[in-house]
Amino acid sequence: MTVGFVGVGRMGAAMVGRLCGAGESVVVFNRSRDRAQAVADRHGARVADTARDAAHSADVVLVSLADDTAVLGTYEGDAGLLAGIRDGAVVCDTSTVDPETMRQLAPRVAARGATLLDTPVSGSVPVVERGELTVMVGGDAGALQRVRPVLQHFATRIFHLGGTGAGATMKLVVNAAVHALNVALSEALVLAEKAGLDRAATYDVIEVSAAGAPYVKYKRAAFLQPDDTSVAFSLDLVAKDQELIDRLAAHVGARMPQGAANRDLVAKAVAAGLGDHDLSALAQFLR
């Protein structure tokens, strides 16, 4: 199958690498053409001029964008994904967005004879590169079966969770826990340091303790050598996620007092100028 890929940021670029490495024919589009060209040159993909062109050539279209505004802007318009989508194609949107956005887009994709699946992922760039992502899927089970071989190039666990929006909902649930863990880990490290314990020794113990989740293991360098580690997920994006989580909680009537406290802390860190820093920079803010 030909795979169209729209949005080649850090995660998207890593997924393109896995797809090309597996021998798939990949066409990429990014709002910054230089970025798309660099990813295409690195992995052997082709570059499309528009999202419409990327979709028009593809049996499967993967989308990886930052937020709801970017998603809606990329689908819509004469040069948008909807204008180019082929009859019978499947769109797999890996973006972390409001579940309602997926529910609004699904019938518009269906009107073009195609199917939309919300397929957000959990993991980091190294996890993509190992082909070990987790994919959370909402939408038609038959369409998922058709695209499963494509998703399996970068994912080992694929969960079908229900109708359209279920995957997007699950991603917000997962991120609510991840962002809470990030706050807890940041606080614990700073507590240890201020009490006279060595940062690295503290991390060693936490990593092998009951709190040693996969997140703790793969964020080790970010917490221990923050100045030497590139940004994997910015606090600005955390704040965006927390707004979506808060909106979902209000919609379904779920009380999240810890979530509210975490959101307030992140907002203060962003206001202090750390929005473009990695989410592990909460420890720096607390210090």
Determine contact, residues 10/125, Cβ cutoff 8 Å: yes
pLDDT for res 1? 84
Whether this model's pTM surpasses 0.75: yes
Q: What percent of the chain shows pLDDT beyond 90?
A: 98
Does residue 217 have an active-site annotation? no
d(CA 75, CA 93): 11
Write out the two tokens for 207: 């990593």
- Tell me, what amino acid is at 208? V
Backbone angles phi and psi of 23, in degrees to 5: 95, 10
pLDDT for res 120? 98
d(CA 93, CA 64): 6
pLDDT for res 73? 96
pLDDT in tens, the chain (287 residues): 899 999 999 999 999 999 999 999 999 999 999 999 999 999 999 999 999 999 998 999 999 999 999 999 999 999 999 999 999 999 999 999 999 999 999 999 999 999 999 999 999 999 999 999 999 999 999 999 999 999 999 999 999 999 999 999 999 999 999 999 999 999 999 999 999 999 999 999 999 999 999 999 999 999 999 999 999 999 999 999 999 999 999 999 999 999 999 999 999 999 999 999 999 999 999 99
pLDDT digits (tens, 9 = 90+) for 108-118: 999 999 999 99
pLDDT digits (tens, 9 = 90+) for 169-210: 999 999 999 999 999 999 999 999 999 999 999 999 999 999
- The distance of Cα 52 from the centroid of its chain, to the nearest Å, equals 22
pLDDT for res 257? 97
d(CA 229, CA 225): 6
d(CA 27, CA 58): 8
**Candidates 171, 194, 219, 268; catalytic one:** 171
Q: Is 198 exposed, middle or buried (0-12, 13-18, 19+ CB in 10 A)?
A: exposed
